[in-house]
Structure 1
Amino acid sequence: MSLAEKIETATERLNTTIVDRPRAVVVVFLLLTGLFVGGLGSVQMSAGGLDAFTDDLPEQKALDQVDQNFEEPFRTDTETTTQLIRTNSNVLTKEALVRDARLLERVAERDDLRMESASGPAPSVAQQLDPSATTPAEYRRTLEGASPSEIRQAVRALESDSRFTGVVSNDFNPTSVSASTSITTVSHDFPESFGDDDLTAVQTDLQTIADDTPGDVRAFGSGTTETEISQSVQDSLLIVMPVVVLLLLFFLVVAYRDPIDVLLGLVALVMTIIWTFGFLGYSGIPFSQQMISVPVLLLAVGVDFGIHIINRYREETERGFEAVEAMREANAQLLIAFVIVTVTAVFGFGANVISDLTPIRNLGIASAVGIMFTFLIFGIFLPAAKLVTDEIRVRLGVPDFNSSPIASEDSVLGRVLAFPARVSRYAPTVIVLGLLLSGAVMGAYGAGVGTSFENEDFLPPEELPAYVTGLPEPFNPGEYTITSTINLLDDKFGSSQSSTVKIYARGNFEQDHALEALAAPNDDPPESLAVGPGGQAEAQSIVTVIESHANRNEDFAALVARNDRNDNGIPDQNLERIYDELFASAAGDRAKQYLTEDYRSAQIEYQTDADASQTEVTTGGTELADRLQFEATSTGSVVVRAAVMDRIFQSAIQGLALAVGLTAAFLVLIYGVLERKPLLGVVNVFPILIAIAFLLGTMRYMDITLNALTATILSISVGVGIAYSVHTTHRFIDEYDSATGAHEAMMVTLTGTGGALFGSMLTTALGTGALALAITPILGNFGVLIALSVTYSFLAAVVALPPAVLLWERFHQWDVDVLARFRPVSQ
């Protein structure tokens, strides 16, 4: 038995099971649904912000090691600290500092807040006035007992202390002793069992205490961020899903025009969601912000399948078949098409599993599994349930409300859909060449689409749109402060926090050449880091700490000079003693920012050119790290984000290539095996390539970048869009075998299947387009793009496929004629 015969036999058996034992099929699917319901309670919610994309990156691991090994003046270990951000006309007045001390005192009185220590302007100024002050109460008493003049003198004395200047805004003026914003960091002593929910509760209580303090104080930490991002996910679901369901319900009503069929469609949709979420629960894949697109996609694709099966069933009943035979005939024609669509959709969705980024991989797995569930439910359960309900309807005498197909040859929609096929017969070659040229132009233009990886992609906007704030309960979202807080930090502290590249070096820094090696690359740095005088690098390292302390301490300067054999200011012998003296001095805390106490790890901070791109900065940092005579890694926030952006772009291109390659190979194979027409597989891929080219061009025109979610749009477009070409081609083959030619077969196809395609396009485009209503921009842009992708795919199937099929017929006929010439004549 040939492979084609085996496939046909398997399909016939499945079809026979559906139409001959529909009740058994329905019962099995309902039992499976009950099984998946058990997994719903295990679904984990994940914020899915920036951290989810950086956890496994080498650049992030290096940055984590830097944060762990070096004492930063402005530590933001968001797992164990909370930042209290105060804004005022001047946060350095006596009154403002006393208020901060009182706030810390109230926090310290609460054992459940587990405050271990605190740092910020108030503790720093109090300790400058009285070094013995070590508790919030002592800070308050010291500040209250000092005069305004004494406090101003203390602040001026801290002008060169990076631990102080790092926690006041970049408008700090030591002359007038003023700054508009300050950060007081509360460190918590949490046990290992302390989880994210506990941290969130602590930071919520801190905000409550801050609200009772005069002035504007915000509590900010990882708990706040995770809570608001998770809340935005839930609020987006609460806004989007009802709109999607209402839209799908509307189109189900328009497509089915029968309340019982509409109810069946809704039951199938609900089952699809239950199966998919149950799988997420059992598999442990968290439901993140990016995952909101999965149920929306599956609902839209499910409606697509449902419209095709019900519409084809109605076509067969109109031809005079009884219910069972009509469904048998409809399934015989559609099951193979559904299998092809499902496999190609799995290729498109599942292509994202090759991504290096965990959230994108999870999205690929969930959507690929979900589309298989969609096929099982709409390809097997729905036909069986339709037969069962129709039998019950007949038994109870319930009339049909409207069982005609969506479109016919005589309908206006049918004539409109057939128009491209009618035109194509006159100049198919010219049309195909024109489409290829326009697709090439749009693809070339779209190749310049940008890539982004920013907080703003994941966070709710600072000001929610009016349509969101005007929603009634329970759809009205709560208040979000995370974006405004981050914007405030970027504005007030950004220039000192985000414009550096860090080189993390490991080795023996007691060797005589160690300091010379650290400083050597600075004289001829890459252009993106050449911001110092004479084109040198502007670097901070243990070398600069040694130079700075030598300028202030004569004894230390003499020690450095005795051990500087080439008189360049950098000691090159007896380094262990120099480090010991430095660490024991007043500059010891600053030295620990750049060299570990075992003298085996060091970091160098380089200022970057403000006009340089992330790619240029990252390349420059890597080049400097390679020049060091130690094991060194370039890192820093700008490097980590550039690494993620690079992987996002790679995911988009590799996912697209894999999806197109697998889809084309599968279609060539399946049409070759089943129909002996392998080139129809190539013809099938032609429209989707045109659609993707136009989608890329539109993305660039609309200034929508490839980000953590939209990077999946290209491969997903293959998975969703190829269905329109597959359904059209499959119906064309059925008609071609009994028609007089490709043109006539395509005319019948577009007036029949074209109506179902049009209906599914509307449901899918508007259903997925509802994501544009989501609170976060990343989901809104994805919704717009998937709606455009579906629309382009439908138009390409209707416009590009007919002329391509006509050219295929010419080649096919030529191939048949050539083979006939060389076939031996039978005797």
Structure 2
Amino acid sequence: MRVKNGLPRIAGWTFDHPLLSLLMILGMTLALGAGLPKLEMDSSNESLFQRGDPTLLDYQAFQREFGRNDVVVVAVTTDDPLSADFMHSLTQLHRELEDRVPWLDDVTSLVNADWMASNEDGGLTVGEVGELWPAEGSLDPAHWEDIVTSSLYRDTLVSSDGSMVLLVVRAMAQSAGEADPAAQQDFFSAVGVESGGGFDETQGSGAGQQRLSSAQLNDFAGAVEQIVAEYQADGMQLRAAGGPLLDKLHHDAIHHDVAILMSAAFLLIVIALYVLFRRVSAVVIPVVVIALGMASTFGLMGWANSPFTPVTQALPALLLMSGVLASVHLFGLFYVERRQDRDARTAIVNAVAHSGMAILFTSLTTAAGFLAFTVARMKPIADFGWLAAFGILLIFVYTLVLLPAFIRIIPGRVSASDRETHTLWPALTEKMMQLSGFGVRHPVKVLSMVAVLIVAAMPGVMKTEFSYDVLNWFPADTPIRVDTLAIDEKIQATVPLEVIVDTGRENGILTPEFMTALRTFQDRAETMDPEAVKVGRASSIVDVLQRIHSQLAGVPVEQGISDNENLIHQEILLYESGGAREITRLVDRDYSKARITLRLAYADGRDMVPLRQTVEDSAQELFGNLGEVTVTGTVDLVATGTVDLITSMTESYLFAAISISLMLIILWRSVRLGVLAMIPNFIVIYLALAAMGYTGMDINLITVLLGGIALGLAVDDTVHLINGMQYKIRHAGHSLDTAVRETVRVIAPLLLITTLVLAGGFSMFSLSMMSALQSFGILLALTILLTFLFDLVVIPAIMSIFDRTQPAADQNESQSADDNRRQAIGK
């Protein structure tokens, strides 16, 4: 193989030309690292989808037509909503939000909501609800009763018992100054109805406009939080919930976690390297190599417009921990060579010749575990996959080039203690050899115990559930989590689901037939009783029309749909001419489309999936002959994301299993050995899933990565152990028991250190702000430790069974194949 011979040559060349090697890597790092200023963070639901995804396109089309769907809900609790003092405080809060919140599109509350009433001339007066309150004293109870029972305000702006009043704060759908000028024309103007605009696709939408960036939305949400906090300090009972606030919480968590997890992983690596090699140069060199690799990877993220998300926030710590593994193995073998009085060049070239191919293949298998996630439809998971794979392979290249160069530039010496101790912690090494020996001598017992574990784990695996509950990723006392549940207990209004019906013709919705269908659909939606999702109010233009008709005709609201199409047109015209402000949120300019908003209590995405489907089926049934139905909004994004999560796990795990198995088959040129080597790793992943089921940990956007990461990292130990065992058997003539013992004596201490680094690093995820990432880190750490134990005991047991059953012809074939790999595996 050319590769196996080429790796030592590269090491020798870089040792001979250290400055040129360093300049080459620095040039590459600077070119890629130039993208770092472009790196952003994005935790919105929209970031779940690839550009051009139909679900995302529907949502963006909705935003272009009706504005943002994800809003902030500020809830005011009061014992005296009728008093002038309450309305004064509410108005003051409302105006503060309007004046101080950046990127604001609109604030809607009882202060400015449309109020329709008949006048003495038999016409219609359109004003604002807040105008009903007197300057002093209290609101007329009859008026208050009219407000809290009206479908326009009940459980949308005020609770049915009147104790909670909402302010709905909506951000712009696109940056000010970048909006389509035609879109800024008066709603009722015929000019500029269509401009061919949209959102800039580089920002995730159509052409010509840009949606607000994550930083702008965080400014929006942060200003709302600040104002709410100020009024809370003054004694006003306020709560706040909604998508932008949750996104900001994720954004803050990413900032916190990236810094904390990187620092913790860095400290752990420094300690481990020093304990292992006991020299400063052996600490500094790997850290510099990894730092350059990480800077290049993050720069590529910037160039590729791939932001940090709740998924990729784990990438820095992951690259730190996994990237150091190659340095540990090469440095370990380098110092073994130096103890035999070989010069530095010979030592590093021999180290690369001995384990270069093994390290290359472990890097490839680790990358394959990450690349498995690229098959996912969910963009954060797919991005994490290719970025992690790129980072791992790039760090391997940087290690191969820079390690010999730095060894030449920073010469070191072998200390006396190194000459005296050829293995780390002899007593512990002896214990590891005893465990491996037990696996060789008692393979049936070992595999029987594994079988018992598999059977015992089965109920846990069956209990494992999928989840997309981002609110539950944070501790129970997180303010937004507390506030969201409190608001939903009173008014189910924190999560919106949108249904758009497009009749395809001007004034297509202004017919008795269509309005009747709207009323029927809303009534049906409000009475849906899914097991886990509470449905609140459904609202649309029909609520406005019923109010108008009721006021003008003097009939009860429930009878307020005229059966005369001309009358419907006249009533809408009166509403328009009265200066209505909310109609822009309900219909398009030519009355061909109607928007129905269903307000729901917050729930797990897995529970929203059946609800969303029920809503769509009902809408298709009622509107199928009247227009085209589109279901979109936050619930649609979350429900679709949940389905994608399930698909992503199945496809990515299968991809990882197949690709890694193929690489091992290529490495060893043995189908049997390649497949058998994967068995312990599959079992460990299976046991990890069982642990999730038994502990009640769901498979979510973060924990779905467990299998791919664990499989990609865990197989590294398997490769190194089996490589060593195979060589000792076929080239040194050792028995399996001796081969296992000698391999474990030399390699296991290094594997133990790398395992402890990985497990310790992942356990540092317990410092995260997100409880989901905390649980994920701890479980992954335990999985890595269990994999190491399985490699020590189960791999020798499988090798023992394999050794007994392998035909002589296969052994001769393997012998010949191994002769061709002598330089790659060892001497």
TM-score by shorter chain over 0.5? yes
Distance 1:806-1:186 versus aligned 2 partners, 3 A rule: closer
**Distance in 2, Cα, partners of 1:618 & 1:626:** 12
**Distance in 1, Cα, partners of 2:285 & 2:317:** 18
**Distance in 1, Cα, partners of 2:221 & 2:665:** 58
**Distance in 1, Cα, partners of 2:717 & 2:110:** 64
Pairing 1:192-591 to 2, within 5 Å after superposition = 192-193=177-178, 196=213, 197=215, 201=219, 214-216=234-236, 217=238, 225-390=246-411, 393=412, 402=418, 407=423, 411-429=426-444, 431-432=446-447, 434-436=449-451, 438-439=453-454, 442=457, 445-457=460-472, 460-461=474-475, 463=477, 482-493=480-491, 495-496=492-493, 498=495, 502=499, 504=501, 506-507=503-504, 515=514, 518=517, 529=528, 576-577=565-566, 579-581=568-570, 583-584=572-573
Corresponding residue for 2:199?
none
Instruction: Report the identity percentage.
Output: 17
1:653 equivalent in alignment to 2:650? yes
Deviation at residue 183 of structure 1 after TM alignment: 1.9
Distance 1:149-1:278 versus aligned 2 partners, 3 A rule: closer
Determine if contact 2:368/2:659 at 8 Å carries over to the other structure.
yes
1:45 equivalent in alignment to 2:34? no
Determine if contact 1:436/1:690 at 8 Å carries over to the other structure.
no
SS at match of 1:453: coil
Determine if contact 1:709/1:778 at 8 Å carries over to the other structure.
yes
Corresponding residue for 2:710?
717
SS at match of 2:306: coil
**Distance in 2, Cα, partners of 1:799 & 1:95:** 75
**Distance in 2, Cα, partners of 1:27 & 1:432:** 52
**Distance in 2, Cα, partners of 1:541 & 1:117:** 18
Corresponding residue for 1:28?
24
Distance 1:546-1:645 versus aligned 2 partners, 3 A rule: same
Letter of the aligned partner of 1:183 in structure 2?
L
12-21 or 610-619, larger mean C-alpha shift: 610-619
**Distance in 1, Cα, partners of 2:811 & 2:220:** 80
Distance 1:349-1:144 versus aligned 2 partners, 3 A rule: same
2:796 corresponds to which of 778, 782, 802: 802
Determine if contact 1:450/1:705 at 8 Å carries over to the other structure.
yes
Determine if contact 2:494/2:600 at 8 Å carries over to the other structure.
no
SS at match of 1:182: strand
Corresponding residue for 2:687?
694
SS at match of 1:792: helix
Q: Deviations over 1:159-191 (max 9, x none)?
A: 333333244453x42xxxx41343254787972
Determine if contact 2:545/2:572 at 8 Å carries over to the other structure.
no
Determine if contact 2:151/2:543 at 8 Å carries over to the other structure.
no
Distance 1:207-1:636 versus aligned 2 partners, 3 A rule: closer
Deviation at residue 227 of structure 1 after TM alignment: 4.2
Q: Deviations over 1:391-412 (max 9, x none)?
A: xx35xxx95664666737x922
Q: Deviations over 1:30-69 (max 9, x none)?
A: 44444444333x2422142434225865455545656765
Deviation at residue 310 of structure 1 after TM alignment: 1.8
Q: How many residues align?
A: 755
Distance 1:637-1:31 versus aligned 2 partners, 3 A rule: closer
Corresponding residue for 1:478?
none
Q: Deviations over 1:598-636 (max 9, x none)?
A: 454345678999999434324433443554345334445
**Distance in 1, Cα, partners of 2:502 & 2:422:** 68
1:774 equivalent in alignment to 2:768? yes
Distance 1:601-1:719 versus aligned 2 partners, 3 A rule: same
Corresponding residue for 1:467?
none
1:785 equivalent in alignment to 2:779? yes
Letter of the aligned partner of 1:262 in structure 2?
V
SS at match of 1:684: helix
2:7 corresponds to which of 7, 11, 20: 11
Deviation at residue 806 of structure 1 after TM alignment: 1.9
Corresponding residue for 1:477?
none
Letter of the aligned partner of 2:92 in structure 1?
R
Alignment TM-score, normalising by the size of structure 1 = 0.78
1:163 equivalent in alignment to 2:157? no
SS at match of 2:769: coil
Pairing 1:139-150 to 2, within 5 Å after superposition = 143-150=133-140
Corresponding residue for 1:727?
720
Distance 1:212-1:732 versus aligned 2 partners, 3 A rule: closer
Deviation at residue 303 of structure 1 after TM alignment: 2.5
Q: Deviations over 1:499-550 (max 9, x none)?
A: 9784746556579996599589989999994789xxxx99877789888988
Distance 1:530-1:551 versus aligned 2 partners, 3 A rule: farther
Determine if contact 1:59/1:633 at 8 Å carries over to the other structure.
no
Alignment TM-score, normalising by the size of structure 2 = 0.78
Determine if contact 2:272/2:753 at 8 Å carries over to the other structure.
yes
Determine if contact 1:667/1:681 at 8 Å carries over to the other structure.
yes
Letter of the aligned partner of 1:102 in structure 2?
Q
**Distance in 1, Cα, partners of 2:468 & 2:481:** 15
Kindly report the root-mean-square deviation, in angstroms, between the aligned alpha carbons of the 2 structures.
4.6
**Distance in 2, Cα, partners of 1:232 & 1:193:** 30
Q: Deviations over 1:735-764 (max 9, x none)?
A: 222132333212211121111111100011
Deviation at residue 83 of structure 1 after TM alignment: 5.3
Unpaired segments of 5 or more residues in structure 1? 465-480, 562-568, 821-827
Deviation at residue 647 of structure 1 after TM alignment: 0.5
Q: Deviations over 1:256-280 (max 9, x none)?
A: 1222222223323322322222222
Determine if contact 1:43/1:277 at 8 Å carries over to the other structure.
no
**Distance in 2, Cα, partners of 1:540 & 1:125:** 14
Q: Deviations over 1:65-103 (max 9, x none)?
A: 567657xxxx9655xx76554334444432111122234
Deviation at residue 669 of structure 1 after TM alignment: 2.0
Letter of the aligned partner of 1:122 in structure 2?
V
Determine if contact 1:338/1:379 at 8 Å carries over to the other structure.
no
1:745 equivalent in alignment to 2:739? yes
Determine if contact 2:156/2:493 at 8 Å carries over to the other structure.
no
**Distance in 2, Cα, partners of 1:512 & 1:129:** 22
